[in-house]
Structure 1
Amino acid sequence: MKALLFIETDGEKALGASCELISAVKALDAEGTAIIVGNRALADTVATFGIPVIFIETATDCDTLTEVLSQIVKQQNPDILLLANTSLAKDIAPRIAGRMDLGFVSDVIGMNKTDGKVIYTRPAYGGTILEHIEVDGTAVVIVRNGTFSKPEAGSNAGVTEKKLEIPASVVRAKIVDTVKDICETVNLEEAEVIVSGGRGLGNVENFKLVEELARVLGGEVGATRPAIEDGWICRTHQVGQSGKIVAPKLYIACGLSGATQHTSGMTGAKYIVAINKDEEAPIFEIADISIIGNVNEILPIMIEEMKKVKAK
C-alpha cells in the first residue's frame, strides 16, 4: 500500500497535525512519502522522522498547491493522499478529489486495514454515530488532529527535490495582502491544554476565570458558540461544528452543557474535566472527571490550587 502525505508548514515549522500523518502511515504499515512545498530546511527536518520527502520549490497559495498535489498524485498513483484537518486542507483536498475523480473522506478519526483494504472511521450527525467507509481506488483523506501520536525521530530517509511546471492559468486567485486580528494568534489545534467556557458562566467578568485558569496551566482558551455570540471572546476561540476541531491532552469544560454542536469538536481530547451545576448535563457523559457545582465558585479554587502546584 502506497501513501502520500502533504506536510503543511507555517513558514517556520511543520504543523504538528501534519506530522501526525507519519504515525498514521506507520500504523497502516504502508509505504509513505511526505510532500513539502516551499521550505527546504523543513523538508530536511521531516526526513529525520524516517520517511522519504519530496520537496517542491514553488508558491504555497491554494491554487498552486492544488495543482502541485494533483500532479504528484498522477505521477505516483498512491492508494491514499493524507492531509491534516486544517483550513488549507479543507480548501485544496476536495478540489483534488473532484479534479481527478477520486474518493474523498473528511474528518477521519480512525483507519484500519482489513484484507488489504483501509476502513476509514469518521463521526456523523454531529458526532452521535460513527460511520465506517471503504473507498475504491485512490482516496483523498483529511485526518482529524490528535487521532495519531506525534512521530519520533528515526533514521534520515532523505529528500528528493522535484521540479514541476505550474501553468500560470491555474492560479486564478492571488493573495495581495493579509491582515491578522490579534485573536488569530491563538492555536487551538496545536494546544495540549484547553480551558473552555460556556454560557453557564453568566457574564464576561466570570469568563475571565476561564482565561486565568488557562493562563496558569499554560494552555489556550476555548469557548462555545453562545459565549462567542455574547461577545465574551472573539470567534477564533470557538470549538465545535462551526469552530475548531481540537484534540488536547487536557480539556476543561466550564459551565457548558455539552451540546453536540460543541462536543463534536472536542471528543478527541485525551482527558476531559467538566464543571456544571446540572448533574444531568450531557457533558458528563463524555467527561473523565465530573464536578457538579457552581462553576464561578469552583474555578477560583482550582486556580489557587494550580498556582500552588506550579510554585512547588
Structure 2
Amino acid sequence: MAKVWVVVEAKEGQIKKVTYEMIGLASQLGEVEAVVVGSGVKDLAPGLGAYGVGKVYVVDQPELAEYTTARYTRVLAELIGQEQPAKVLIANTAQGRDFAPRVAQRLGLGQISDVTGYEQGQFVRPIYSGKALAQAEAVAAQAIITVRPNVFNAVSAGAGTAEVVERTVALQPNDLLEVVREVAKQVSVRPELTEANIICSGGRGLKEPANFKLIEDLADVLGAAVGASRAAVDAGWRHHSFQVGQTGKTVSPQVYFAIGISGAIQHLAGMGSSKVIVAINKDPEANIFKVADYGIVGDLFEVVPVLTEELRKALA
C-alpha cells in the first residue's frame, strides 16, 4: 500500500483541526504516516497513532522554533526525498501555501492545490474564483496535495500509538538568512477564522467601523468568528487578517452569515464552499443572494439586532 504523508500543522503546542481532516483524507489514499516539524514538538507525535497514523517522523530542532520558508522547505524536501511517500498532504493555510510549492519545485513534483473533495480516485478543486469545480488526478508516482480546511470530516480518536522516528536535518547557511525577530499575535476569545464552524462577516453596508458591534454581538451569541469583506478592510474598518475572499482568507464553515455584503466575485471565491450561507442585504438584486441558502431582504440595522436577540433566547 502506498505511503501517504500528512504534514502536521500545530500552533502553540496544539495540533490544528485541519491535521485530523487531512488524516481522514489520507486514509482513503493509502497507509497514513505523518511529519511533525518544529522545536519542542516531539510530544505531539505518539498521540497521532490514536487517529490511525502508523508512523510519525519528527524533526525537533531549536532552529525550527519559528516558521521560516527556507527552513521548512529544506526539512520537508529532504525527508520526502529520502522516504519517497506517494502523496504528501499539506494544509492550504497561509503557512502551507507558502512552503508547499517550494517543496514541489525543489523535488520536481506536481502539485494539486486547494483540494475540497475526493471522488473516484480524483481530487476536486475550485477554479475560476470558485465558479466551477475541476477534477484532477496525480498521474506521477509522487505529488504534493494542499487541502482546504473545514471541508473534510476530521477523524475521531480511537486506540493505538504511532511509531516515532526522530530525524535531524542539517540546515544550510542560506536556510538561516531569514530571522524571526518578533511574532505579533492578535488575542481573541473568538474562534480562528479559517477553522470556525460559524462565521459572521460584515461589509460596506455597515456604513462605519463602529457598526461592526452588530456583527460582534451576533458572533458572540453563536460562538462564531468575525470576518469582513475586502471593501470593509480597504476602508480601514477591520485589519486584513479578518478579510474573507480571494485576496484574504478562504473559509469553509458550516454556516456563513454575509451581512451588508454585496457578493463580489472575489468575496465569493473565499466563502463559496460554506455549507450554509445566510445573506442579509437591503438590495434584493445583490449578487450574494444568488449563492445564499437563506436570504433576508431588509435593513441590517433592523434585522441583525432582532436576529441576535431571538438567537440569544433560543440558545439560552
State how 1:2-81 maps to structure 2 within 5 Å: 2-28=3-29, 30-38=30-38, 39-52=41-54, 53-58=56-61, 59-60=63-64, 61=67, 62-81=69-88
Contact 1:183 1:234 in 2 (8 A): no
Residue ranges of structure 1 left out of the alignment (5+ in a row)? none
* Preserved contact between residue 146 and residue 268 of structure 1 (Cα < 8 Å): no
Q: 2:148 is matched by which residue type in structure 1?
A: R
Q: Equivalent residue for 2:197?
A: 192
Runs of 4+ with deviation above 3 angstroms: 181-186
Aligned to 1:125: 128
Q: State the 1:4 CA deviation.
A: 0.9
Whole-Å separation in 2 of the counterparts to 1:251 and 1:164: 43
Distance 1:14 1:182 in 2: 19
Structure 1 distance, partners of 2:311, 2:177, is 48
Which whole-Å deviations, capped at 9, do the CAs of 1:134-162 have from their partners, x for residues lacking one? Answer: 23321111111112111101222413222
Compared CA separation, residues 231 and 183, structure 1 to 2 (3 A): farther
> In 2, are the aligned partners of 1:64 and 1:166 still within 8 Å (CA)?
no
CA RMSD of aligned residues (A): 1.9
Map Cα deviations across residues 75-131 of structure 1 (whole Å, 9 max, x no partner): 2222211101111111111111111110012111122343xxxx2221112111222
Q: Aligned residue pairs: how many?
A: 306
Give the equivalent residue in structure 2 for 1:153: 157
How far apart are residue 309 of structure 1 and its match?
2.0
| 1:174-213 equivalent positions in 2, closer than 5 A | 174-180=178-184, 182=186, 187-213=192-218
Give the structure-1-normalised TM-score.
Answer: 0.92
The unaligned stretches of length 5 or more in structure 2 are none
3-state SS of paired residue (2:51): coil
Q: Secondary structure at the match of 1:45?
A: helix
Q: Distance in 2 between matches of 1:55 and 1:198?
A: 43
Indicate how the Cα distance of structure 1 residues 192 and 255 shifts in structure 2: closer, same or farther if over 3 A, else same. Answer: same
Shift in alpha-carbon separation, 1:12–1:167, aligned structure 2, 3 A: closer
Q: TM-score, normalised by structure 2?
A: 0.90
SS of the residue corresponding to residue 252 of structure 1 reads: strand
The residue aligned with 2:227 is 222
| Amino acid in the other structure paired with 1:275 | I
Bigger drift between 90-99 and 148-157 goes to 148-157
Shift, 1:33, TM fit:
0.5
Q: CA deviation at 1:272?
A: 1.5
Q: Tell me, what secondary structure is at the counterpart of 1:32? A: strand
